[in-house]
Amino acid sequence: MVPLAAINGVELTIFVVLFLAVSGLGFVASRWRRAESLDHLDEWGLGGRNFGAWISWFLIGGDLYTAYTFVAVPALLFGTGALGFFAVPYTIIQFPMAFIVAPRLWSVAHRHGYVTPADFVRGRHGSATLALLIAITGIAATMPYIALQLVGIGAVMRTIGISGEWPLIIAFIILAAYTYQSGLRAPALIAFVKDTLIYLVVLVAIIYIPIKLGGFHAIFDAADKKFAKTPTPPNPDGVVLANPQILGYSSLAFGSALALFMYPHAVTGLLATRSRDTVRKNMAALPAYSFVLGLLALLGLMAIKAGVTPLTGANGKPDVNTVVPLLFDKMFPSWFAGIAFAAIGIGALVPAAIMSIAAANLFTRNIYKEYLRRDASPAEEARMSRLVSLVIKAGAVVVILVLDPQFSIDLQLIGGVVIVQTLPAIVIGLYTRALHAWGLVAGWACGMAAGLYMLYNTPNAVTGKTHFGGPQYQLAKLGFGDTKVTIYTGVVALALNLIVAIVVSLALRSRRDRFEDRTMPDDYVAEAGDPGVRDVEVAPEEPAVPAGRR
């Protein structure tokens, strides 16, 4: 059915060859740093909890900077200019913050064998209900994110000239097969290839394309002219921010940075590291990726100068996500465009694999084992997780094929607002138990309800949508008078969440001891490798040894 003449053969061949080579790597990965068996979540789901600094740098970097980011951030600059650049301050500041907090999470998870953020919440706050809410929030926020990786691959496919849906299905079947087979080792190994390709492409692009387009000055001039043509209010665009956008810009950067390490896949990457020191080293070195992201973002403005027109999407509207692939197609010789497309395509595989593993672990540990089969053995847990990872990916494919892709983009937007509601239970929980479990539940519920309501109540004049029009909420609607200033919805919802959690905790002060804290203060500063302690073998049918019980 595909019109063959429209397909660029060179691009397609290089894309397919690289894609298949990497898939082979994914299958081989099960033998890399091989464990005795993969019949344990620590092995399948966390790669043996033994990745050193270099592997972790590639793995976490490959995990957080997804194909969707590489396609969507430039697309945002193409559409609105300066506002899209929030991704740079966002990814700069998240790491210093995580540098302080993440080692504590690593330590307590190491001592207690926690695999998911909800495991920690269960152990710390002693409430299965709260842990369930955290797990469901995590799964709900991750699912659309996986689906969006398909949007990234789809944008590349359409640029090459393939319009059907079967390539996406094949790509995800391959991905599902080697994730099932190799677990977290697959994306860890593939991340090396992915990042090498991405760095190569970005470095070439940032030098070669501006030279062909007549320099950066000409690029920004063209962007300025384009933005000047469109009437600004109510959604201003421009090469720099309009005044009402300033608060929105910084609150979006700040709120997104808070949200990032709450995502289950980010936690999976953290917990797969070998030591607390590895985590700290990585938080210091990871911002280097932000530089690449910043350069990539500028590609969106270059596309304006190059006169790129987005392809029409399946829903009949222009799909701005095709801007970067089209720019590569236009500027590069076919063979290099093929490499660039492969970089984006492979870039989708790493995070999609980690996200599906993280979501599967949440289901297995915090729903299946907690509510359905309390006595599940580790081998059963691993088996369950592997199966669920397949279900999750199948679900993502169905969502993309059946529903408008815009739906996934909306969901991902919601995802950021939703996942940041788990921050009080996780981050504050890492420092103090001052917040009562029911206080955290109440705060979560209020933050969630307020966040969803505000998103629903956000129209977008540019796209003509009446609901879920964007992550910015007008201060005027919050009762701040007649102003055009907007603020990131997630930050407002989180503030409400915290206030409710504190108030309810104060009201329940006297009832604090009803929930058991299984962790000890010492757990939060533990480092790997104490020679005086061994892994103790416990038969599965024995009752749990209360390791950290007071």
Partner 1 sequence: MADHVSGEQRFTRDPAAPGGAATARGRRANERNTGLYWLFVIPLVATLLPSLYNKLSPELFGIPFFYWYQMAWVPLTVLLTVFVYRRTKGDA
How many Å apart are CA 222 and CA 276, to the nearest integer? 48
How many Å apart are CA 259 and CA 305, to the nearest integer? 34
- Which x/- pattern, by CB under 8 A, does the window 307-336 give for partner 1? ------------------------------
Tokens of residue 503, six digits: 């108030």
Given CA atoms 59, 61, 66, 71 in this order, what sign does their dihedral have? negative
Interface with partner 1 in residues 28-47 (CB under 8 A): 35-37, 39-43
Indicate whether 7 belongs to the interface with partner 1 (CB under 8 A).
Answer: no
> Residue type at 543?
P
Instruction: Indicate which single residue of 9, 24, 52, 96 sits in contact with partner 1 (rule: CB under 8 A).
Output: 96
The least distance separating partner 1 from the CB of residue 525, rounded to whole angstroms, comes to 5
The window from 131-139, 180-188, 469-477, 530-538 that contacts partner 1 (CB under 8 A) reads: 530-538
Over the Cα atoms of the chain, what is R_g? 23
How many Å apart are CA 262 and CA 268, to the nearest integer? 10
Instruction: Indicate which single residue of 14, 75, 93, 437 sits in contact with partner 1 (rule: CB under 8 A).
Output: 93
Count the site residues for partner 1 by CB under 8 A: 86
The window from 126-134, 286-294, 430-438, 502-510 that contacts partner 1 (CB under 8 A) reads: 286-294
Interface with partner 1 in residues 369-428 (CB under 8 A): 377-379, 381
Closer to partner 1 at the Cβ: 19 or 249?
Answer: 249
Indicate whether 63 belongs to the interface with partner 1 (CB under 8 A).
Answer: no
Tokens of residue 512, six digits: 């604090």
DSSP per-residue codes, 119-169: HHHHHHH--HHHHHHHHHHHHHHHHHHHHHHHHHHHHHHHHHT--SSHHHH
Indicate whether 284 belongs to the interface with partner 1 (CB under 8 A).
Answer: yes
The least distance separating partner 1 from the CB of residue 93, rounded to whole angstroms, comes to 5
Tell the residue number behind the tokens 């079947």, with chain if given.
173
The window from 24-32, 141-149, 408-416, 528-536 that contacts partner 1 (CB under 8 A) reads: 528-536
The least distance separating partner 1 from the CB of residue 241, rounded to whole angstroms, comes to 5
> Residue type at 533?
V
The window from 18-26, 274-282, 404-412, 427-435 that contacts partner 1 (CB under 8 A) reads: 274-282
Instruction: Indicate which single residue of 216, 383, 434, 502 sits in contact with partner 1 (rule: CB under 8 A).
Output: 216
The least distance separating partner 1 from the CB of residue 388, rounded to whole angstroms, comes to 16
Taking CA 496 as the corner, what is the angle to CA 490 and CA 502, rounded to the nearest 5 degrees? 130
Interacting residues of 294 by C-beta distance below 8 A, sequence separation 6+: 85, 87, 88
Closer to partner 1 at the Cβ: 36 or 316?
Answer: 36
Given CA atoms 248, 253, 256, 257 in this order, what sign does their dihedral have? negative
Closer to partner 1 at the Cβ: 25 or 77?
Answer: 77
Instruction: Indicate which single residue of 250, 322, 422, 505 sits in contact with partner 1 (rule: CB under 8 A).
Output: 250
Instruction: Indicate which single residue of 239, 311, 449, 508 sits in contact with partner 1 (rule: CB under 8 A).
Output: 239
Instruction: Indicate which single residue of 265, 274, 281, 305 sits in contact with partner 1 (rule: CB under 8 A).
Output: 281
Is cis: bond before 234, omega within 30 of 0? yes
Closer to partner 1 at the Cβ: 11 or 381?
Answer: 381
- Which x/- pattern, by CB under 8 A, does the window 289-308 give for partner 1? -xx--xx--x----------
Closer to partner 1 at the Cβ: 39 or 165?
Answer: 39
- At residue 484, φ and ψ (nearest 5 deg) are -90, -5
Instruction: Indicate which single residue of 78, 254, 328, 488 sits in contact with partner 1 (rule: CB under 8 A).
Output: 254
At 472, which helix (H) or strand (E)?
A: strand 472-474
The window from 168-176, 217-225, 258-266, 347-355 that contacts partner 1 (CB under 8 A) reads: 217-225
Indicate whether 288 belongs to the interface with partner 1 (CB under 8 A).
Answer: yes
Indicate whether 217 belongs to the interface with partner 1 (CB under 8 A).
Answer: yes
Beta-bridge partners for 318: 312
Exposed / middle / buried, residue 224 (Cβ in 10 Å: 0-12, 13-18, 19+) = middle
Indicate whether 100 belongs to the interface with partner 1 (CB under 8 A).
Answer: yes
How many Å apart are CA 355 and CA 284, to the nearest integer? 23
Exposed / middle / buried, residue 181 (Cβ in 10 Å: 0-12, 13-18, 19+) = middle
At 486, which helix (H) or strand (E)?
A: strand 486-488
Given CA atoms 440, 445, 449, 452 in this order, what sign does their dihedral have? positive
Indicate whether 431 belongs to the interface with partner 1 (CB under 8 A).
Answer: no
Give the 3-state secondary structure of residue 66.
coil
Interface with partner 1 in residues 480-519 (CB under 8 A): 518
Indicate whether 115 belongs to the interface with partner 1 (CB under 8 A).
Answer: yes
